[in-house]
Structure 1
Amino acid sequence: MYLPKTLAIVDDHPIVIQGLQMLLINNKDIEVGGCFTTGAEFMSFLKEHKVDVVLLDVMLPDCNGLDLCKEIKLVSPETSVLALSNHSERSMVMQMLQNGASGYLLKNAAVEELLDCIYESLKGEVAFSKAVKEIIARPSANDLKGIPQLTRREKEILQLIAEGKTTAVMAKELFVSPLTIETHRRNLLQKFEVKNVALLIKVAGQQGLLQSL
């Protein structure tokens, strides 16, 4: 006997829930098992019921969809999570995928796109609406900027900054004046386009520069 797949909707906008239910009401392959306006309600349901796929809003009143996605995958690894959001930032899409989502759709996606994504995720594939595919294809600002070109001395100073050394200690170790160290420090902040040392270390680390020094 053929059993339809169970789908849950988690969104704090009743009109969105209603609209999705209407779209899926006559679909023989998918049965809406429950609709929830908070993450807590859905997690309680998930612990007691099998859910094949969940359409998850990224922003909920009681929690962040990014964290909730992680939680869902811990409780029920076989549940496919499809993010459904108005947020079109590339970083948000990538973060959802890192947290275990099976796909990402914008709320302005066409009905056919929504259904295609649901079916794809049920087959174990990663699914995106057309607009999200375009967002992913666009490189981020950091990707475009590339890695700053550093002199040998700047690399040395960057490493010492990462080790938490003070200007005075660096000047002593490198046999230069503290003023020279401060000039290099300013140049590094400029090259990485950051405002402080904490951000400098963070960005240099993200670009793999600290490991390679």
Structure 2
Amino acid sequence: MIKVAIVDDHKILTEGLQNLIEESGIASVVGVAHSAAECRLSLGFWKPDILLLDVGLPDISGLDFCKEIKDHFPEVKVLALTTHNEYAIVRQMLDNGASGYLIKNAMSEEVLEGIETVAKGETFLCHEIDLLMKRSPEKNIWLSDRERELLRLISEGLTNGEIADKIFLSPETIRGYRKNLLLKLGAKNTAVLVKMAVEQKLI
């Protein structure tokens, strides 16, 4: 039987997943953690075949945590389970070693199919993500008006503090927006971000 561990801070979701997996007869849940820190403490004891990992953990990005898990426990297969369906995040997650990607509103059958497929050593993308990855990345960038405005201000060379003053938000919020833009566009740093924004006529 496939051994599964779950890392997600939504308790209702983890309970539902646990029931679904236990009742399926194909796998059993050997552990549940609600943060990366909790998972770090237990992963060595659980020894799961598959780790269902949320991308939006409260204490660390699931993208970084996926890489960390693969570095320390290369035999554990990571199956991302998330609300994020942006091309750049999926790409990054797979590049960091994930074996599959599920959207949280995926059908129960897809979740179980994902577990079985990844356990066999294959890659699994749920239907919605499979379609997304088949389209070209340029067409997948959708920015809100606020993100476009922020991108324009960043390209003018303004600091987080200056942007915050200009659009009446806290520097902390601007930092979050900036990080999100880097992720969405798959840019390594601000210079690359600005270059891509100009090339793809996003500003």
State the alpha-carbon separation in 2 of the partners of residues 37 and 105 from structure 1: 18
Instruction: Report the Cα distance in structure 2 between the residues aligned to 1:113 and 1:27, rounded to whole angstroms.
Output: 12
Whole-Å separation in 2 of the counterparts to 1:16 and 1:198: 39
**Is 1:55 the counterpart of 2:48 in the alignment?**
no
Q: How many residues align?
A: 151
Matching residue of 1:83: 80
| Gapped regions of structure 1 (runs ≥ 5) | 145-196, 204-213
Counterpart of 1:116 in structure 2 is 113
Task: Establish whether residue 198 from structure 1 lines up as the match of residue 202 from structure 2.
Answer: no
Deviation at 1:17, TM superposition (A): 0.4
Aligned ranges for residues 89-128 of structure 1 at < 5 Å? 89-128=86-125
State the Cα deviation string for residues 6-57 of structure 1 (Å, max 9, x = none): 1001110011001101111223331100111001111111123311001100
The answer to whether the 8 A contact 1:5-1:29 is kept is yes
CA distance in 2, matches of 1:201, 1:54: 36
2:6: which partner in 1?
9
Letter in 2 for 1:97: L
Maintained 8 Å contact 1:7/1:32: yes
Shift of 1:198: 3.2
Structure 2: tracts of 5 or more residues without a match: 142-189, 197-203
Alignment check: 8 A CA contact 2:86 2:140 kept: no
Contact 1:47 1:75 in 2 (8 A): no
Deviation readout 1:95-136 (Å, 9 max, x if unpaired):
000000001010111111111111000000000110010111
Q: Percent identity of the aligned residues? A: 45
Q: Which amino acid aligns with 1:111?
A: S
Q: 1:121–1:139: structure 2 CA closer, same or farther, 3 Å change rule?
A: same
Give 2:175's aligned residue: none
| Correspondences of 1:1-213 after superposition (within 5 Å) | 4-141=1-138, 198-199=191-192, 203=196
SS of 1:31's equivalent in the other structure is: strand
> RMSD value over aligned CA atoms?
2.5
> AA paired with 1:70?
K
Distance of 1:71 and 1:129 partners within structure 2 = 24
Q: Which amino acid aligns with 2:191?
A: A
* Greater Cα radius of gyration, structure 1 or 2: 1
Q: Distance in 1 between matches of 2:87 and 2:106?
A: 17
Name 2:180's counterpart in structure 1: none
Q: TM-score, normalised by structure 1?
A: 0.65
TM (normalized to structure 2)?
0.68
TM-fit CA distance, 1:201: 8.6
